[in-house]
Amino acid sequence: MARHKPATEGGYQRGEETRARIIDAALRLFGAHGFDGASTRDIAREAGVNAPALQYYFDNKEGVYLACIDYFVDRAWGLLADVVIAAEAVVARPDATDAELIDAYLGLQLRFTTFLHECPDTDHWRQFMARERAGLGPPAAFERIDAGINRRIFAVTSQVIGRLTGQPATDEATRIRTIAIDSQVAAFKVMRRHVLKALNWDAFGEAETARVQEVIREQTRTLLQALVAQRNAKDLRG
């Protein structure tokens, strides 16, 4: 596991600055060249430190990469935590109404679309995360993201969809449906270039993000209400 040390005895702030500089340099190089193509020597040079300094803070190249992942997870969770916790509280109530469950899901989705605009959004971040989504990083990186964000979010969204459809959250069809609905927002990040071209947008600014939020929210509410109607009709048939 990578160590987290100050640069010198009593130099915690300076150590944090050095560590942040190495992570920033690593993001640029991993984004441009991938995990295999970026060397620790190149990362150290880009960060303006010597190679032993990189080893001192992170042990090895994988340690640097995982530190980049941890930074992303911390930033993402900081933006999402309150709405995830609020949705979990609704799901935990057996008497939660369909309307409350739908509103809880839409609250999560609204924050996800905000994350499109507020998450780290430089070219090297996009390149880094695109490579990671493609499975080009070390296996431990996916586990960090999955444990840090994905599992908890999927647990609550699959429970909401399960309640609205009358099926267990663990049911395969429920999980497939949840992935499909959850992925609406992710498509705007993963397919960024296509989206910008198709919509004739120059960037994802606040106005563009608000428009995406408006349309997806309306579409998802209609879809979730249809699932409830389908469940109710099935219950009436007996």
Residue 7: per-residue pLDDT: 45
The pLDDT value recorded for residue 231 is 96
What class is the 66-237 domain?
mainly alpha
For domain 12-59, the question of CATH label 1.10.10.60 is answered with yes
- Ranges of CATH 1.10.357.10 domains, the chain: 66-237
pLDDT at 225: 98
Give the model's pLDDT for residue 123.
Answer: 67
- pLDDT at residue 3, rounded to an integer: 46
pLDDT given at position 205 = 80
- pLDDT means per 10 residues, the chain with 238 residues, are 47 77 94 93 94 91 95 88 96 97 96 71 74 89 92 97 97 97 86 90 86 94 97 88
Q: Read off the pTM.
A: 0.83
Give the alpha-carbon dihedral of 173, 178, 179, 184, to 10 degrees: 140
Question: What stretch(es) of the chain map to CATH 1.10.10.60?
Answer: 12-59
Can you give the pLDDT at residue 188? 84
